[in-house]
Amino acid sequence: MADVLSPALQDRPAPDKVPDVHISIRNVEKVYRSQRGSVVALENVSLDVAKGEFVSILGPSGCGKSTLLKCIAGLEPLSGGEIFVGRQRVAEPPKDLGVVFQRDILFDWRTTLDNVLVTVEFLGLKRRDYEARARSLLATYGLAGYENRYPWELSGGQRQRVAICRAMVHDPQFLLMDEPFGALDALTRDELNLELQNRWFADRKTIIFITHGISEAVFLSDRVIVMGRNPGRIIADVKIDLPRPRGVAVRDTAAFTAYTGRLRAIMDDANAGITHAGVLS
């Protein structure tokens, strides 16, 4: 259960030479410049994510987690380095991508079904080709019968389920999720963790999931990446070797507790600005 600290990528082969790598982040830097000076949000961030892998990113506020996600999504230009999805270098948002944010960002004037199908319309696809999939996803997430409800008629958990269905309706091969359950109560969060895990287990999409919850990261993930700040960088890459599928009872096991304890210690060091051996520089 030792941590695997991510080495720099100068000596790694190109992503098209590495089997099963879906997302390759190579020496990425992001600098924000203004009249008051420059802020280094990300420095020498390197990470490979395999096809079908579930990877969570933990770190203190201000460590660049969301910035990194936006860079992967092609929503933020890089100051240095490269990001590949498959063999394609990211220069704009990939079409084969679904994104879920902490806020559901539903349109109040559209029904549940119409909110899910927004992605289809945005991509210029035919609505009739995806309506059955949209209804199936809503049923999977417990929203059968809610197709004609409006956002104000839904609970917070139901709204976030709609947002997840919207991200998945065009059947993307990878999902980026930025603290999607952070604003929900603990019970609703547990329910959505189970639903997301079960859906991932069935579909095996590649997922990068940002969270502040150590327990949530261990429960969901194949690997947990820990980031430090000032500047944002990867300080640890921890493989989670727990059997799947996982039920809530796994949280009471000694192995689960050991993982959360180890990650909490790394997070405490990250919050305190303590550097680990093997940190990217």
Query: What pLDDT shows up at residue 273?
Result: 64
pLDDT at 123: 87
Phi first, then psi, for residue 143 (nearest 5°) are: -120, 20
Q: What is the CA radius of gyration of the chain?
A: 19
Cβ contacts of 164 within 8 Å, gap of 6 or more: 100, 141, 180, 192, 196
Q: How many residues does the chain have?
A: 281
* Averaged pLDDT, 65-89: 93
What mean pLDDT value characterizes the chain? Answer: 87
Amino acid (one-letter) located at 148: N
Cα dist from 4 to 115, 148, 160, whole Å: 41, 48, 33
Mean pLDDT of the region 189-207: 90
pLDDT greater than 80 at residue 50: yes
Q: CB-hemisphere CA count at 13 Å for 263? A: 30
Mean pLDDT of 158-179: 93
What tokens appear for 72 in the block? Answer: 């992967």
Instruction: Give me the residue label for tokens 């933020």.
Output: 76
